[in-house]
């Protein structure tokens, strides 16, 4: 059965929104939030300005959507893997996926843009933190909380544990990549995450044999 008119309309809206976000991300992440403009985005995608503003009411809303898109990919990497995985394997998959997103061209460009613009746009910086790193640590904290309830780990504060684990995963390699000093190899990413997992597992005093 052919899709109905409502489905076709929704698909076209989704495709148009994705087109706008892709064009905007290229501009915002290369020019920086302060120098980028809605006019630049409009010039890149063409069509009427009304269409652009129908999707995003202003520059800030558009940039927040870009933040959310990159953050959603990072969160997807932190979703608990298959139940049959033990804790170490689960954390290794989560950490590797998370760090891979951070080290992606979009992830690095977004981080650089926010570091540059944060002093001038504190509300935008707060939105970036809440929707990005903050969401990531809260998401992982829920997973650790579930593991604690099952008697797998013993931690006083799952939120702090999540923040510490993600901090160990990022290590220095994320900052080095953001500064353009070096782009880490897959082997270094794996080694960094593996070490972070081993440290976390030892520190949480497992109550069952998951090692």
Q: Which domains does the chain have, with CATH numbers?
A: 5-203 (1.10.357.10)
Structure tokens at 125: 């910086």
Percent of all residues in the chain with a pLDDT value above 90, rounded to a whole number: 47
- As a whole number of angstroms, the distance between CA 129 and CA 131 comes to 6
Structure tokens at 27: 């501009």
Q: Which of 46-50, 55-59, 113-117 is predicted with the least confidence, judged by mean pLDDT?
A: 113-117
- As a whole number of angstroms, the distance between CA 30 and CA 203 comes to 41
Chain centroid to Cα 179, Å, comes to 18
Is 108 a residue whose pLDDT tops 70? yes
- As a whole number of angstroms, the distance between CA 119 and CA 107 comes to 20
Residues 6+ apart with CB under 8 A from 30: 109
Q: How far is CA 167 from CA 136, 161, 183, 197, 205, in A?
A: 11, 10, 18, 12, 20
pLDDT at 121: 81
Does pTM top 0.75 for this prediction?
yes
Residue 162 and residue 137 in contact, taking contact as beta carbons nearer than 8 Å: yes
């Amino acid at each position: 059965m052919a899709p109905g008119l409502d489905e076709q309309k929704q698909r076209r809206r989704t495709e148009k929104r994705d087109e706008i976000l892709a064009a905007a991300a290229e501009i915002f992440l290369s020019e920086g939030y302060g120098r980028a403009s809605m006019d630049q985005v409009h010039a890149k995608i063409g069509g009427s300005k009304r269409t652009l503003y129908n999707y995003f009411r202003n520059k800030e809303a558009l940039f927040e959507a870009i933040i959310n898109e990159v953050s959603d990919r990072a969160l997807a990497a932190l979703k608990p893997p298959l139940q049959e995985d033990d804790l170490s394997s689960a954390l290794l998959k989560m950490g590797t996926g998370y760090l891979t997103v951070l080290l992606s061209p979009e992830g690095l460009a977004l981080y650089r843009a926010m570091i540059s613009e944060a002093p001038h746009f504190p509300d935008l910086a707060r939105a970036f933190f809440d929707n990005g790193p903050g969401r990531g640590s809260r998401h992982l904290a829920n997973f650790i909380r579930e593991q604690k309830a099952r008697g797998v780990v013993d931690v006083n504060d799952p939120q702090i544990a999540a923040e510490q684990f993600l901090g160990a995963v990022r290590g220095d390699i994320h900052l080095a990549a953001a500064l353009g000093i070096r782009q880490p190899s897959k082997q270094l990413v794996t080694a960094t995450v593996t070490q972070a997992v081993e440290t976390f597992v030892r520190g949480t005093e497992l109550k069952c044999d998951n090692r």
